[in-house]
Amino acid sequence: MSALGGSFTLGGDLAVGRLGFGAMRITGPGIWGEPADPSAARRLLRRVVDAGVNLIDTADSYGPEVSENLIAEALHPYPDDLVIATKGGLERPGPGQWVPACRPERLKRCCEDSLRRLRLERIDLYQLHTVDPKVPLEDSIGALAELQEDGKIRHIGVSNVDGEQLARARGVAAIVSVQNRYSLSDRSSDEVLDECEREGLGFLPWFPLARGDLAKPGGRLDVVAKAHDATPAQVALAWLLHRSPVTLPIPGTGSIAHFEENLEAAELELSPEEWSTLAD
């Protein structure tokens, strides 16, 4: 198992390295269609596993279907310790378009389709991709609980939820993780992350490399990065790993070189003063 950034146990039985890989960017522009070079995407996925990363996050809506297919083509049969997390609950009318669609019957169909594409009998972590305002959250989670009872899902996660929605989901089924937008420059999910830490739930921050004005020349992030001969993105990832022992960053890229750069963030050591400066 990867020791990159330390380790975390999802749901009490899935040991993962804390620095994972997000497989959204291996698709085409607008997260739509095939990538320009599918063979390069497959090489990247194999490099991810070879480097010791054992948590790959994807979704049926990435492509749609493209990301899951590439993962299976590149990595099946999977290493015993590889955890593939996928999601259902968003429709894709076109490039850059994301529409909530979390009806119970649709979620069950989406899960079955993901199982087929990923060539799995059971998905280790299946996440509700969003909360559909047209469908009671309890109904959506209830469908995932039924899939879990049928042995098609090992653990259930939620994504893009607030604290109240997380509590409602946990009232229906055992939730082991939350995936929300979160980064050094966007801490709107601080309360959700704190709740995850209290309850021992994994927290997968998406868009983890967002840096905003902090990375401008002379900004706090820029200053710290230059002091360590690192990139602002590396420092932003290191900050996420430091923020809480339950954070599981999943930076995504379509480039092996960029992936290697992200890996180096797990080894970055900053002083307490630097952590404090970035946290302000």
Q: Which residues are catalytic?
A: 62
Phi (first) and psi of residue 183, to 5 degrees: -165, 180
Q: ∠ CA 260-159-122 to the nearest 5 degrees?
A: 80
Number of C-beta neighbours around residue 242 at 10 A: 17
Nearest to 254 by CA among 97, 42, 86: 42
C-alpha to C-alpha distance for 15 and 69, rounded to whole angstroms: 24
The residue among 203, 211, 216 whose CA lies nearest residue 265 is: 211
Q: Report the sign of the C-alpha dihedral through residues 159, 25, 148, 141, in that order.
A: positive
Q: Where are the alpha helices (DSSP H) in the chain?
A: 38-50, 66-75, 104-118, 137-149, 163-170, 190-199, 220-227, 232-243, 256-264, 272-279
Handedness of CA 38, 94, 113, 166 (dihedral sign): positive
Residue 41 host element (H or E): helix 38-50
CB of 142 closer than 8 Å to CB of 172: yes
Q: Which helix (H) or strand (E) holds 69?
A: helix 66-75
* Closest of 254, 272, 276 to residue 44, by C-alpha: 254
- Alpha-carbon distance of 97 to 218, in angstroms, equals 36
